[in-house]
Amino acid sequence: MYRTHTCNDLRLADAGKTVTLAGWVAIGRDLGGLTFVDLRDRYGITQLVFDMDDNAELCERARRLGREFVIQATGLVRERASKNPNRATGDVEIRVTAFEVLNAAKTPPFTIQDDTDGGDDLRMKYRYLDLRRNAVQQNILFRSALSLETRKFMAGQGFAEIETPFLIKSTPEGARDFVVPSRMNKGQFYALPQSPQTFKQILMVAGFDRYFQIVKCFRDEDLRADRQPEFTQIDCEMAFVHQEDILNTFEGLTKHLFRTTLGIELPDFPRMTYDEAMRRFGSDKPDLRFGMEFVELTAQAKGKGFPVFDSAETVLAICAPGCAGYTRKQLDELTEWVKRPQIGAKGLVYVRYDADGSVKSSVDKFYSPDDLKVWLQACGAQPGDLLFLLCGDDEKTRKQLSELRLEMGNRLGLRDPKVFKPLWVMDFPLLEWDEEESRFFAMHHPFTSPKQADIPKMESDDREVLAGIRADAYDLVLNGVEIGGGSIRIHDRDLQSRNFRLLGFTPEEAEAQFGFLLGAFEYGAPPHGGIAFGFDRLCSVMNGINNIRDFIAFPKNNQGRDMMIDAPDAIKQKQLEELGIALKGA
Ligand code: ASP
């Protein structure tokens, strides 16, 4: 037997027992007569003690142990003289009588501690050492618990877990595909799936009724903190359901995951239409942990001779509670903040409602205190509050003010990572106009069903009418992060063809790309719908962290590189030839 206990098992009640532990040397302290070693494994840390008076030879050997040596030690559990209340095993130590080095280790390039001294790339290169750090290990174990609980819940609801292929066909919609050359079909390529969307719909046509999968998806996009080229979804599809059934099932899953992994009972999730979310928060994924809702001041602000407002489509305000004391410097700095290219506002107007009831603004030249009081009242401002106003094109202004609202939420400490505010956003538009390509794209994906009442609008040529078509599409939002999205699908061949036409596909293109799906719809497709959760994101948001990399055992860096195995990499000429790929200039 390698060990009788793990490094987190022993307590005061075990004093007097002879035990054997195995693990890594976290740290050693040589105090002359006594040498202490913290022994670490996945479960915890236990202190070993070597006594010069007991066994000088043993103690000498212990002194030579380096960090991260793998050892096995046997000894007697005893009460510690100075206890460590921060550690589960902190009341005891092992007085070692024998130990063996199972494997020596080089000095690690960074310390294996919660606050490591290793930079990002170094930690990625030595990912196995980074994964040895407790904080990172706990994240990966959390992820494991979350996927096991997902399977439990889904199985309990009668879902079948079915795998779909990774080598599929490239499609023009959505993000860029990763492609894989085919050796047996030279000059042809598979694509890695951006999601199992069409396959899960086909599974419904096949009669599986309830499908789920915890599945890798691949998208060749520019990377950000919450994006990786390969990521994981909890992917689901259900037949013979209404939108309501899907929302209830996945609200149930989310509540189950919070209860079982964090011990948190979430109340029923509020719902909001896309239009309402845009109107109140300027975002389709509002963070509901704090208020600061948008107030429309267009009517009140126009017509007083301030040209900037007079020429704007929209004037919007938010009220920052308790911020009237902001200094000139703070206000200038926030003005610069909204003018950065990432936000793109032209300027920032403020109104200070001082504690003594006096009002001061950056547009005093154009507005009397009474004018400003009308704004303050519309915003429900109290003495001590500060209004921020942005103006311009309606859509852009909403986006900009949404960013400012989140920034103020951060600055005022209103985005507590331990508070969870889920929300269903519903009734998304079916189509989204793309100025650059001058055509409609599917806001969710091309298989999303328009709302029954809006189907006749699909015959229109009027862009406004088409943009107004609503879909049975929904997103789950948690603390301002989109956790997942889904929709009721089109299950009628003609309607699907009509939707492809709106998206600019000729009938031939639609047939070439999605003929298999259109064909399947001719053989008895049941009404169906589904959803997919971003699994990595769910892990990170539940832990109040915004980098999904921390929850992926082997992530890529921002250049899409795996620093540990050093991929991507060139391949041999022979491999290229087998694949029928000639590199330019080669
Ligand atoms: N396949 C969709 C996605 O990846 C989710 C869904 O509609 O079920 O966003």
Would you say 180 and 190 are in contact if contact means Cβ atoms under 8 Å apart? yes
**Pair 363, 347: CB distance under 8 Å:** no
The answer to whether the beta carbons of residues 403 and 249 sit under 8 Å apart is no
Cα(174) to centroid(ligand 1), Å: 11
pLDDT of residue 115: 85
Give the contacts of 395 (CB within 8 A, at least 6 positions apart): none
State the distance from the centre of ligand 1 to the C-alpha of 501, rounded, in angstroms: 21
Distance 72 CA to ligand 1 centre (A): 49
Rounded Cα distance, 260 and 262, in Å: 6
pLDDT score at 584: 65
CA angle 5, 142, 125 (to 5 degrees): 90
Domains and their CATH numbers in the chain: 12-103 (2.40.50.140), 135-267+533-578 (3.30.930.10), 290-411 (3.30.1360.30), 422-531 (3.30.930.10)
**C-alpha 195 to ligand 1 mean position (Å):** 7
Query: At 310, which helix (H) or strand (E)?
Result: helix 307-310
| SS3 state of residue 66 | coil
Ligand 1 atom closest to Cα of residue 194: 4
201 CA to middle of ligand 1, Å? 11
Angle between helix axes 197-205 and 507-520 (nearest 10 degrees) is 40
Q: Judge whether 447 and 490 are in contact, CB under 8 Å.
A: yes
SS3 16: coil
Omega prior to 446 cis, within 30 of 0: no
- Taking the centre of ligand 1 as the mean of its atom positions, its distance from the CA of residue 246, in whole angstroms, is 13
Residue nearest ligand 1's atom 1 by CA: 197
φ, ψ for residue 42, nearest 5 deg = -55, -25
Q: Are 73 and 98 in contact (CB under 8 A)?
A: yes
**Residue nearest (by alpha carbon) to ligand 1 atom 8:** 531
Instruction: Say what the pLDDT of residue 496 is.
Output: 94
Task: Compute the distance from residue 34 Cα to the ligand 1 centre, in Å.
Answer: 60
Quote the ligand 1 centre to 90 CA distance (angstroms).
48
Q: How far is the CA of 237 from the centre of ligand 1 (A)?
A: 10
Give yes or no for a contact between 391 and 315, defined as CB atoms under 8 angstroms apart: yes
Give the mutation target among 159, 233, 445 for probing the ligand 1 site: most ligand atoms within 8 A of CB.
445
Quote the CA–CA distance of 72 and 66 in Å, as a whole number.
Answer: 14
Q: Which two tokens stand for residue 329?
A: 């410097």
Q: How many CA atoms lie within 13 A of 129 on its CB side?
A: 26
Residue among 318, 389, 381 at smallest CA distance from 350: 389
Prediction pTM value: 0.95
Q: Burial letters for 49-77: b for 16+ Cβ neighbours within 10 Å, e otherwise?
A: bbebeeeeebbeebeebeebbbbbbbbeb
Q: Among 212, 235, 237, 238, say which to mutate for ligand 1: greatest number of ligand atoms within 8 Å of CB.
A: 235
- Which residue numbers in the chain have pLDDT < 70? 173, 584-586
Q: Which atom of ligand 1 is nearest to the CA of 236?
A: 8
User: ∠ at Cα 81 (77, 83), nearest 5°?
Assistant: 85
Q: CA Rg, the chain, in Å?
A: 30
- Ligand 1 binding pocket, CB closer than 6 Å: 195, 197, 445, 485-487, 530-532
**φ and ψ at 114, to 5 degrees?**
-55, -50
pLDDT for 477 equals 98
Which atom of ligand 1 is the closest one to the Cα of 473?
Answer: 7
For residue 233, the ligand 1 atom closest to its alpha carbon is: 4
The minimum-distance atom of ligand 1 relative to the CA of 447 is 7
Q: Token digits for 570?
A: 């060139």
99-100-106-111 Cα dihedral, nearest 10 degrees = -30
Q: What's the pLDDT score for residue 585?
A: 64
DSSP string spanning 383-419?
TT-EEEEEEESHHHHHHHHHHHHHHHHHHTT---TT-
